[in-house]
């Protein structure tokens, strides 16, 4: 392989690292099963609530203590059973209800308290100083049961269908991230090992040589900054940490060697021209050749 070919190969490999990594990432993520965003479920749930507010209002009017409740003051709390964590969890509807806004009433859907309506004791518009719980699920009201069960089924169905897929996706993504980090460090290490034994052949003082030198020095400096950030971070596995430290040592040595070569070769050439040949202009001819 000629010196020109070596230069082209190194530049292509350096500039091609992130291109290849990006291509691998796109192929990987394109093959992962698509999971409907949970926000889509939240939209469906809230649309369901709004759509059925009138029916809920009619149901509550049949309970003397609740007949005057405005259903718009009810915050619906939806629970589902998570097989991944083996317990009941709630979905986050704060985008609709607000994270800190207090509601006079709470309707529980799903979980151990499914169907309960709670008059919040802390609310300033309620006369009670403690929560009052109405177990409306015990009323045997078919319309109320359809309303609450419709919500519960909608939420539970989403997680029964998609929670296993989400878990599998997370596991595959974690494994892929570990693979891609190691693959990238292998690519960079191979490049700098080759550069360590070829830099003195490919560096020169021509315009193109100056540009190549600047590219290599910039790349190595950015790379060292990236490696230092990783080494100073937390939660780095020991094998990857060791490989990063070895790469840092390699890149640091190559960078120093290139800088020494570039800073000192022209001085040595001047000395050769002056001391051995005696013609000062000869140094410029040698450097032009280099």
∠ CA 161-165-170, rounded to 5°: 145
CA distance 59 to 99: 28
pLDDT of residue 282: 46
Among candidate residues 159, 61, 145, the one with its CA nearest the CA of residue 109: 145
CA 34 distance to own-chain centroid:
16
Burial 174-202 (b: 16+ CB within 10 A, else e): eebeeeebeeebebbeebbeebeebbeeb
CA distance 18 to 24: 10
Does this model's pTM top 0.85? My answer is: no
Look up residue 31 and give its two tokens.
């093959």
CA distance 125 to 239: 60
Q: Where are the domains of the chain?
A: 3-32+169-289, 38-165
Strands 87-90 and 116-119 come out as unpaired
pLDDT of residue 2: 77
pLDDT of residue 289: 44
Per-residue pLDDT of the chain (290 residues; tens, 9 = 90+): 677 888 888 888 888 898 999 999 999 999 999 999 999 999 999 999 999 999 999 999 988 999 999 999 999 999 999 999 999 999 999 999 987 778 999 999 999 999 999 999 989 999 999 999 999 988 778 899 999 999 999 999 999 999 999 999 999 999 999 999 999 999 999 999 999 998 888 888 778 878 888 989 999 999 999 999 998 887 668 899 999 999 999 999 999 999 988 887 766 655 655 555 555 554 454 444 44
């Amino acid at each position: 392989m000629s010196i020109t070919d070596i230069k082209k190969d190194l530049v292509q490999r350096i500039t091609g690292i992130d291109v290849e990594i990006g291509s691998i990432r796109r192929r990987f993520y394109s093959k992962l099963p698509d999971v409907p965003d949970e926000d889509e479920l939240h939209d469906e749930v809230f649309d369901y609530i709004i759509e059925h507010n009138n029916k809920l209002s009619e149901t509550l009017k049949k309970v003397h203590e609740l007949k005057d409740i405005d259903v718009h003051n009810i915050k619906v709390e939806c629970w589902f059973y998570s097989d991944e964590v083996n317990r009941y969890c709630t979905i986050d509807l704060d985008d609709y209800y607000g994270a800190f806004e207090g509601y006079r009433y709470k309707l529980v859907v799903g979980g151990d308290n499914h169907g309960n309506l709670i008059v919040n004791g802390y609310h300033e518009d309620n006369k009670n100083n403690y929560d009052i719980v109405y177990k409306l699920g015990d009323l045997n009201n078919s319309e109320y049961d359809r309303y609450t069960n419709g919500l519960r089924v909608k939420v539970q169905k989403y997680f029964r269908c998609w929670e296993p897929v989400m878990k599998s996706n997370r596991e595959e993504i974690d494994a892929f991230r570990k693979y891609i980090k190691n693959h990238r460090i292998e690519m960079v290490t191979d490049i700098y090992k080759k550069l360590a034994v070829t830099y003195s052949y490919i560096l020169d003082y021509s315009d193109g040589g100056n540009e190549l030198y600047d590219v290599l020095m910039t790349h190595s400096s950015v790379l060292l900054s990236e490696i230092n950030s990783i080494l100073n971070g937390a939660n780095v596995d020991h094998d990857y940490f060791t490989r990063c430290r070895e790469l840092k040592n390699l890149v640091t040595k190559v960078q120093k060697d290139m800088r020494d070569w570039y800073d000192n070769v022209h001085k040595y050439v001047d000395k050769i021209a002056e001391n051995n040949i005696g013609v000062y202009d000869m140094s410029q001819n040698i450097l032009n050749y280099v």
